[in-house]
Structure 1
Amino acid sequence: MKLQTQILLEKQSERLIDYKSNVLLLGSCFSENIGDKLSYFKFQSLQNPFGILFHPKAIETLIFNAVSGKKYSKADVFQYNEQWHCFDAHSKLSNSSKEALLSVLNLNVQSTYQQLNKASHIIITLGTAWVYRFVQSDHIVANCHKIPQKQFKKELLSVEEIVSSLSKTVELIRSIKSKVPIIFTVSPVRHLKDGFVENTQSKAHLITGIHQYLKSESFIENNQSSYFPSYEIMMDELRDYRFYASDMIHPNQTAIDYIWEKFNTVWVSESAVKTMNEVEIIQKGFQHKPFNPKSQAHQKFVQNLENKATQLQSQFPHIVF
């Protein structure tokens, strides 16, 4: 008896992710989910240096600023509710100190540029096609920072605008790393604050925009970009509320683990899977809470773990437990 429809996935034939790879992840919270998995398994990666970026224009702005070497100044930040904010960044970067915020912004835009230079793979997750334009500056923001909505104009990016934004983003990336694989995906997280119909319309624009871009001449010439169906896996293979968190909007840990396993089957090399298993044994071992920490058996257990960790670190110096 077949109880689930399966999305056909094919293993990438080349440029697979392994422990020599260096991954840059940008975009909606699903990039954070995948980024956390890569971090847990000790891959080299950098995720969302400007925090979660929900729409393609915000990602384009970050890449443009990184490539052009932007220096953030006091003109780029503002104070609201006793915090200093930047419209280009998520509120998790906001700070009570203007100087501290500017320091983090400039450090992170440099980190983005550095990661672009050494990236072996770039994962871009789009969350929504709805954007907010700050009326005073006529600028599309990455985050509204809870400023009253009357100060913004809400807009739905057209498919053409999304294709244009993706084209500019990839062109900027290619100016730094001409052949780096770029993996596009659409976040399964539903933005229901926009409305049920509006969320569906938004996701449709994103999916259509990505696929139109992938069929464009730039894709045919470079042949380095692809699409991973995380949204489709959630909507089709996991079409049950038991795979959602308590808010009924975000995928729960079971769904995240499931989609991560699917991602592995497509993008992670067999040699890396073997190392991942070794990393997980050590990670779980260090997280284990012993009944008697001073017992001889536990001391031997800890020593064995440390020996395994040392052996793994001798192979991959970047791995730190």
Structure 2
Amino acid sequence: MKLQTQIPLQKAEKQIDYESRLVFLGSCFSENIGEKFTYFKFRSLRNPFGILFHPLAIENLVSRALRKKRYTQDDIFYHNERWQCYDAHSDLSALSQETLLGALNNGLEKTAEHLATATHIGITLGTAWVYRHLETDTVVANCHKVPQRQFSKELLGIAEMMVALNTIMDSVRSINPKAQFILTVSPVRHLKDGFVENQRSKARLISAVHAVLQEGVSYFPSYEIQMDELRDYRFYKEDMVHPNRLAVEYIWEKFSAVWIVEKARPVMDRVDAVQRGLLHRPFYPDSEQHRKFSENLEKKMENLREEFPFMDF
């Protein structure tokens, strides 16, 4: 796809290949791009606590994981017939305390393990608006549809978010000094906060991110690409807020062009061929033609696994 207005992209300091180890934390951009890396079988972890929208929630996850501070019954609560945790997305809620605590602590362990070996860490910020739980005086990652009267709504300051981002990076560098950080601002507009309020939020996020850029820390303009290059509503889902598949593909093309090394692309093509083959549904599963197709597909997977033992189809 070629558009008239194109945002110039800076070449990455240290590009990604199949030797890289990736961690994606934060809002929807991390989920979408992280899903792409999962599809192409790079070694990656994305959002072990589900989507986290603001920098304080991401800082809490990273700090808690690296300090090995496990979750206990005191950290969870029962609401709407499920056990919940204010530090995680509702995707992690569970019917029993044991299941939720297991998921939370397993997520912490995975996060710590991957951060210690990651070559690239992508952090996407979605909003500067946060909710503070009045009873505990703590900022939550997710309200889980608890009545609004139990929270106050606040707009984080630029300096406050800079501290959170620097704390995240300093914490990781204490155990993994060579990790590269990729910072982005999510193109998803939080219009429930209001049109003006969303713009104020995004402006603060962008200002905070650019204030912490340094060697080993890069900015990818996913927000600007969506707002300026893909500014037509045909690039949005039906809710007119979230980028649709066409927009995600376009932003992925832009991202991969500057962040993925050229030599990885033939491998990605091979992985893509296998993934498409696995999605194939034959009309005649017992036919000789399908048997040969399956044998050929298995051979392709074996060849990839021989070169890259970590690949699991």
TM-score, with length taken from structure 2:
0.97
The residue number in structure 1 matching 2:77 is 78
* Letter aligned with residue 225 of structure 1: V
The residue number in structure 1 matching 2:243 is 251
Query: Is the contact made by 2:230 and 2:247 (CA closer than 8 Å) also made in structure 1?
Result: yes
The residue number in structure 2 matching 1:50 is 49
The residue number in structure 1 matching 2:273 is 281
CA distance in 2, matches of 1:260, 1:309: 24
Query: For residues 41-68 of structure 1, what are the alpha-carbon distances to aligned partners after superposition, in whole Å with 9 as ceiling and x for unaligned?
Result: 1111001111110000000001110111
The residue number in structure 2 matching 1:301 is 293
SS of alignment partner, residue 122 of structure 2: strand
SS of alignment partner, residue 23 of structure 2: strand
SS of alignment partner, residue 124 of structure 1: strand
SS of alignment partner, residue 179 of structure 2: coil
* Letter aligned with residue 190 of structure 1: R
CA distance in 2, matches of 1:113, 1:165: 18
Alignment of 1:7-86 (within 5 A): 7-12=7-12, 14-86=13-85
Question: Where does structure 1 differ by over 6 angstroms across 4 or more consecutive aligned residues?
Answer: none
Query: For residues 122-146 of structure 1, what are the alpha-carbon distances to aligned partners after superposition, in whole Å with 9 as ceiling and x for unaligned?
Result: 0000000000000011100000010
Distance 1:305 1:5, change over 3 A: same
The residue number in structure 2 matching 1:161 is 160
Q: Which deviates more, 45-54 or 3-12?
A: 3-12
SS of alignment partner, residue 95 of structure 1: coil
The residue number in structure 1 matching 2:217 is 225
CA distance in 1, matches of 2:204, 2:14: 29
- How far 1:3 sits from its partner (Å)? 5.1
CA distance in 2, matches of 1:206, 1:196: 16
SS of alignment partner, residue 176 of structure 1: coil
CA distance in 2, matches of 1:10, 1:212: 17
Query: For residues 267-297 of structure 1, what are the alpha-carbon distances to aligned partners after superposition, in whole Å with 9 as ceiling and x for unaligned?
Result: 0011111100111111111211222222222
Query: Is the contact made by 2:57 and 2:87 (CA closer than 8 Å) also made in structure 1?
Result: yes
SS of alignment partner, residue 17 of structure 1: coil
CA distance in 1, matches of 2:3, 2:207: 29
Work out the percentage of aligned pairs sharing the same amino acid.
Answer: 57
SS of alignment partner, residue 9 of structure 1: coil
Unaligned runs of 5+ in 1: none
The residue number in structure 1 matching 2:106 is 107
Query: For residues 141-196 of structure 1, what are the alpha-carbon distances to aligned partners after superposition, in whole Å with 9 as ceiling and x for unaligned?
Result: 00001001111010000111111111111111111111200000000011010001
Alignment of 1:109-124 (within 5 A): 109-124=108-123
- How far 1:15 sits from its partner (Å)? 2.2
TM-score, with length taken from structure 1:
0.95
Distance 1:31 1:93, change over 3 A: same
* Letter aligned with residue 290 of structure 2: H
Once superposed, what is the RMSD of the aligned Cα atoms? 1.1
Distance 1:182 1:3, change over 3 A: closer
CA distance in 1, matches of 2:43, 2:78: 35
* Letter aligned with residue 251 of structure 1: P
Unaligned runs of 5+ in 2: none
1:314 pairs, out of 303, 306, 312, with 306
CA distance in 1, matches of 2:127, 2:5: 26
CA distance in 2, matches of 1:89, 1:248: 26
* Letter aligned with residue 7 of structure 1: I
CA distance in 1, matches of 2:199, 2:105: 36
- How far 1:298 sits from its partner (Å)? 2.0
SS of alignment partner, residue 309 of structure 1: helix
The residue number in structure 1 matching 2:203 is 204
The residue number in structure 2 matching 1:146 is 145
Query: Is the contact made by 2:116 and 2:175 (CA closer than 8 Å) also made in structure 1?
Result: yes
* Letter aligned with residue 181 of structure 1: Q
The residue number in structure 2 matching 1:4 is 4
- How far 1:254 sits from its partner (Å)? 0.6
Confirm or deny that 1:131 pairs with 2:123. Answer: no
CA distance in 1, matches of 2:193, 2:175: 36
Query: For residues 213-263 of structure 1, what are the alpha-carbon distances to aligned partners after superposition, in whole Å with 9 as ceiling and x for unaligned?
Result: 11xxxx3xxx11110001111011111100001111000001001101111
